[in-house]
Structure 1
């Protein structure tokens, strides 16, 4: 089991699981369904590739059977991918080009099956690096011919689709297309030349393709998946940044919120949790943060009838608030209403900034 093969398998497993989780949330997204199917097909193909190199393969009727399965699955993966990209470039042309891609994939699969059946697959000479029989060489030639066609056509369609797409999707398609070009020129074209020369001239025109093309293929697949995953990864990074910011501000509001809640328990929109559980809160951070903002502002409204008439300034607002909270336990509210932490500008963020500043001063005292 080589490191590049294992790296490709891990990348495809992550991509397949990620797209599957997105499909669960958005089951009606047709484009996402196709991308998820493509990712799953790549995962199955690379799983078969690992199985072909494992010890368990020796117990199969042919220890090269997973290799046939891998190549057949990849043909249908690229047929789906090309059809998806064609729909993005020209949806009207999909009706004429789509069946052609299916026919090419089926013809390639049939050719692979026939060559596989004719070859002595249990012989040591069936592996790519040591293949010497006509049937074995044809098997690899057919597979690489189709892969060269599919990767180059996929890269061309990805480029055309990028020209019609918005900025983030454009970059994603360009990166994915670049990965397909790397696979085509760095792996499949050299292997076509190698197998053709071995088949016709009984010598290898490009020695060592079994060794150096595999890492190049791994790089191309990694770049391809990077392109596919870029929009989702970028969205995930933005969401992570917002989560950390909301969590930080949620914790910063704790001194103000706890002081107001102790005086006015009715401000809690939901039953409060323990400080330990509150500190370990992870899910729905934005919802909990804005709920705490609302509760803090409600608490200040409840405290406003107990405030004295001392002018508000940065040095006295916390003192006035603490005095008001203490007064609320023993005195009746007055008719006058004062405001603490009044925003100087309109908007939710200005209000949040004033609450955070007040909470920080309470915590510092």
Structure 2
């Protein structure tokens, strides 16, 4: 049950990250590192269904026994290949990176061709096996596992070396993802070496203790989710930070409603131009929420500047008005403005930021005033 839940969570994270990197890649097709990450996740995403019993049965039913196993291994080869491509592009200039990627493609294509041929030459009765039950004395089976394992060990070792080097230079949140990748790749390399040695022993007619095979499989089962998490971690952290900003802007937008409503009723001409959309979900998109947030902050500040001379008269002061003091006199000042009463033409500071915090500090003062205004109405 726990494994099933983990598989579902892993699938959600994997395919969600795949959609996100695909969208980012469409925005910037020239970003080779992003393209490598997308292809790495794509291969991992394609391999996932073939490792699920229902998906494997469906694939084998359509293309014959062993098709799911072959497809899964081909996708895994692509996954580690494109992970290596990411680090090559990250650490090399474009011309050098392109040449290195081409050289790394040769063993990938050769391995894919050999294991495909090995599976085709394997008798059908021997294709529907697991690693633990496979007859390694069958030439096609032995070649399949030896070649796939050799390439995985080679590619994973290269990726591990690059990951360790890159992790020393990376900053947060990338370094956390690279550390996860380092641990996952180390586990995968260890499991691959053990499985290669076990394959050779079984090919030569020897017996491999069952705990060794189980241990290698367990290492892979633990490393794969950690690997996917490490690949998508920087994107997840970035998305989480964006969601927090989106939520904060939406909350502040609502908190400023009492102040904005009073000022907008008095100065409707100060409203910034807005483009309405017929699609209801556009109002929930991050860009729309951020736009409405900034527009409301600006309109509130503009309205306070215009009403500040009347506020100064109502409060009988020439010093900057605190948000709570300004809130007490705002409605009276607005009525005086609407009635055309005279007031000094010079603006008076109202709800000014306390420190040097920039826009956020200004927004806090406006929010204080809006809350005080809502409390006075209640």
Cα distance in 1 for residues equivalent to 2:359 and 2:10: 46
Q: Classify 1:319/1:166 alpha carbon distance in 2 versus 1 (closer, same or farther; 3 Å).
A: closer
Question: Which residue does the alignment assign to 1:321?
Answer: 330
Q: Which residue of 1 aligns with 2:166?
A: 161
1:364 and 2:375 are equivalent in the alignment: yes
Q: TM-score, normalised by structure 1?
A: 0.85
Measure the CA separation in 2 of the matches of 1:212 and 1:229. Answer: 26
Alignment of 1:295-306 (within 5 A): 295-306=299-310
* TM superposition score normalised by structure 2: 0.82
Contact 2:32 2:89 in 1 (8 A): no
Q: Identify if the C-alpha distance between structure 1 residues 340 and 85 changes in structure 2 by more than 3 Å, giving closer, same or farther.
A: closer
Q: Deviations over 1:89-134 (max 9, x none)?
A: 3447646643432221122122212321221134476432221123
Instruction: Give 1:11 shift.
Output: 4.5
Which ranges in structure 2 are unaligned for 5 or more consecutive residues? none
Q: Distance in 2 between matches of 1:7 and 1:209?
A: 28
Is the deviation greater in 341-350 or in 253-262? 341-350
- CA separation of 1:246/1:191 partners in 2, compared to 1, >3 Å: closer, same or farther? same
Aligned counterpart, 2:244: 241
For 2:11 and 2:337, the matched residues in 1 are separated by: 65
Residue 44 of structure 2 corresponds to residue 42 of structure 1: yes
| In the alignment, structure 1 residue 13 sits paired with structure 2 residue 22 | no
For residue 129 of structure 1, give the secondary structure of its aligned residue in structure 2: coil
Name the counterpart of 1:145.
150
Q: CA deviation at 1:317?
A: 2.6
1:220–1:107 Cα change, 3 Å? same
Written as runs of structure 1 = structure 2, the 5 A alignment for 1:61-140 is 61-91=63-93, 94=97, 97-123=100-126, 126-132=129-135, 133-140=138-145
**Are 1:267 and 1:298, in contact at CA under 8 Å, matched by a contact in 2?**
yes
Report the equivalent of 1:218. Answer: 221
- Deviation track 1:47-69 (CA, whole Å, cap 9, x = no partner) reads 33337854424533422112112
The Cα of 1:5 is off from its aligned counterpart by: 6.2
Q: 1:348 aligns with which of 359, 366, 371?
A: 359
Segments of structure 1 that go 5 or more residues without pairing to the other structure are none
Checking the alignment, whether the CA contact within 8 Å between 1:52 and 1:65 is kept in structure 2 is no
CA RMSD after TM alignment: 3.1
CA distance in 1, matches of 2:144, 2:10: 22
**Other-structure match for 1:30:** 32
> 2:304 and 2:258 mapped to 1: Cα distance?
13
Q: 1:333 to 1:85 in 2, by over 3 A?
A: same
Shift of 1:362: 0.8
Alignment of 1:226-237 (within 5 A): 226-237=229-240
* Contact kept in structure 2, 1:89 and 1:164, CA below 8 Å: no
